[in-house]
Amino acid sequence: MSGGRQGREPGRHGGRPAARRPGGADRHRTGGGRAGSGGGGGGRGRAGGGSPAPTGPKATTVELTFLPGLADVLAAEVAEALAPAKPPVAVAGRDDALVLRHTGPLADVLRLRTAVAAFVSLHFDVPRPKSLTSGDHLARIVAAVYDSLRAGGSSSFRFEAAGSDSAAFARLAEGIRAATGLQHDEKDGQLVVRVRRGTGGTSRTVDPGWDVLVRVGPRPLSARTWRVADYPGAVNATIAAAMVRLGGVAPTDRVLNLMCGSGTLLVERLLAAPAAAAVGVDNAADALAAAAANLDAASLTRRVTLVEADALTAPVDGGPFDVVYADPPWGTLHGSHSTAADVHAGLLRAAHRVTADGGTLVVLTHEITVMERCLREADALWTPRDTVRVFAKGHHPRVYVLSKR
């Protein structure tokens, strides 16, 4: 039985840029950033009396986008992976973005698994985008582009902005091209530059100004390079990464993925940390072939056993398992609503049989009403520990974290 339906974001792949640094790019790199405000990178302020301010590690304002519902999961991952001096905060007016001040290598943000994308965030107190082409403003944007290129190379760029086909954006594109050597490809450019009305800054009571966001790397963080085999209904990789974190990770865990589909949960779990054992079960041969290809692309083939069997009835060797993951089918892609109750009830029973005492079951499902009823009927088997609602491409699945009684 194959995994539940979730799409993924397509990635864009690109090589190193044939970029050149303008003579003034570093000289004009200025500040204006404010922690938690969406402002620009660290600047060279002046202390009282005109003496130079003490310098320290460069601080970059980074905005992280995520699937709504996963803010707490991403914030916890940021604290663990990046250790910022202050925790990230929500971007004003948005339910899908956090902002933080990052003082380590920018490439570190590319390790985040539960973010959709990462951007260097700059704020400009200007009335309209055409002002961004002036010397100091353009130099800051070019510096951010170079920061992105050092973290992950690109060979072209594009704008995501209202009016991106205007003369003002044409001038901005030419300025970036002349300074970096990157080609402006308005449709398929790899490095994304977003321009939007400001969300924080110094003159908000008069004018919100404008924010410029330069994506870190040539593709979204959610576009996994290991995904070489697509399979209908594959779980979104950032949701899978969140499920892994919600279920807890220990290198001594024995993990099982019932209804493993194309292996997304298995890959994300084993990329998070080693496991004592890892098993995937599915009754579809083509799903297991896709899982094998993805595991091989992630160099994880030798660490996983794939079994073709009915996940609800077949015995599973290698248990008992400390953590069990499941992504039951929904809609008509791999099942039907009329069978959802039997599938979910059967899943709860099957997982209980193979889970170690005190172990964890993590389930992603779109059949919320069915799942809630099945949990009430299975209250002797499982204790709900956490529930997270996710918003992804018009769908609203929930992640259930359950402890075996």
CA distance 312 to 314: 6
Q: What is the mean pLDDT of each run of 10 residues along the chain (405 residues)?
A: 40 39 35 36 37 62 98 98 96 95 96 98 94 93 96 95 95 96 96 91 66 96 95 92 98 97 97 98 96 98 97 94 92 63 97 97 96 97 98 92 97
Which domains does the chain possess? 48-215 (3.30.2130.30), 237-404 (3.40.50.150)
pLDDT given at position 207:
74
Structure tokens at 246: 């919600």
pLDDT in tens, 294-333: 999 999 999 999 999 999 999 999 999 999 999 998 654 5
CA distance 312 to 94: 41
pLDDT given at position 23:
36
User: H helices of 187-339, where?
Assistant: 237-247, 264-272, 285-297
Structure tokens at 68: 């709504």
pLDDT given at position 230:
87
Structure tokens at 352: 């209980």
Bridge partners, residue 102, by sequence: 60
What are the start-end ranges of the E strands in 112-198?
Answer: 117-124, 156-160, 183-184, 191-197
CA distance 239 to 336: 23
pTM here is 0.83
3-state SS class at 124: strand
HEC-encoded secondary structure of 182-211: CEECCCCCCEEEEEEECCCCCCCCCCCCEE
How high does pLDDT run on average in the chain?
86
CA distance 131 to 202: 17
pLDDT in tens, 348-398: 999 999 999 999 999 999 999 999 999 999 999 999 999 999 998 888 999
For the chain, count helices (H), then strands (E).
8, 15
pLDDT given at position 177:
97
Residue 131 dihedral angles phi and psi, to the nearest 5° = -70, -15
CA distance 363 to 235: 12
